Amino acid sequence: IAVLSVAVCPVIMAVTTPRTLLAQVLGWTPLRWLGERSYGIYLWHMPIAAFTPRLTQQLYPWQVGLGQVVLTVFLASVSWRFVEDPIRRGALSRPKPDAEGNVASRKPVVLRLTVGFVAIVVLAGVVMAGTMKLPQPSRQELAAANARPSSPSPRPRPSPSPEPTVPTPTIPLIALPEPGAFGQTACHTVVHLGDSTSRGLVSENYLPDPAQRMDAQYIKAGATSMIDGVGDAMAIVEHWNGEPSGFDRAQSIAASAPPDTCWVVALGLNDAATIAIGGSPFLADDRIDQIMSQVRPGERVMWVTTITQPWADPVYNNEYMAGWNASLIAAMDHYPNMRVYDWAADTATWDPAKVAEYFTDDGIHYTTPGCAMRAHMIARALATAFPAGQEPTKSPIISAGTLADNEAQVFPPPPPPPPEGSASPAASATSQG
Pairing relation of β-strands 397-398 and 174-175?
Answer: parallel
CB 400 within 8 A of CB 406: yes
Distance CA 361, CA 313 (A): 10
Distance CA 100, CA 383 (A): 100
Distance CA 252, CA 248 (A): 6
Spatial neighbors of 355 by CB under 8 A, at least 6 apart, are 139, 140, 143, 309, 347
Total Cβ atoms within 10 A of residue 356: 22
Total Cβ atoms within 10 A of residue 147: 15
**DSSP conformational letter for 340:** E
CB 400 within 8 A of CB 384: yes
Distance, first Cα to last Cα, the chain: 94
CB 323 within 8 A of CB 272: yes
Distance CA 129, CA 46 (A): 15
Total Cβ atoms within 10 A of residue 7: 9
269: closest CA among 300, 302, 238? 238
Distance CA 302, CA 266 (A): 9
H or E stretch covering 398? strand 397-398
Count CA atoms closer than 13 A to 239's CA, side-chain side. Answer: 6
Q: Using CA of residue 428, residue 429, residue 430, residue 433, what is the dihedral sign?
A: positive
Spatial neighbors of 12 by CB under 8 A, at least 6 apart, are none
Strands annotated E in 245-343: 262-266, 301-304, 338-341
Rounded average pLDDT per 10-residue block, the chain, 433 residues:
77 74 78 85 85 70 84 87 77 61 60 74 74 62 54 41 51 85 95 97 96 97 96 93 94 93 97 90 94 94 95 90 94 94 93 90 94 97 95 92 93 79 53 43
Lateral strand order in the sheet of 338-341: 174-175, 397-398, 338-341, 301-304, 262-266, 189-194, 225-230
pLDDT of residue 342: 96
Strands annotated E in 116-253: 174-175, 189-194, 225-230
CB 324 within 8 A of CB 308: no
User: What b-and-e string marks burial along 205-240, b requiring 16 or more CB atoms within 10 Å of the CB?
Assistant: ebbeeeebbbbbbbbbbbbeebbbbbbeebbbbbee
CB 323 within 8 A of CB 268: no
pLDDT of residue 1: 64
H or E stretch covering 254? helix 246-256
pLDDT of residue 37: 85
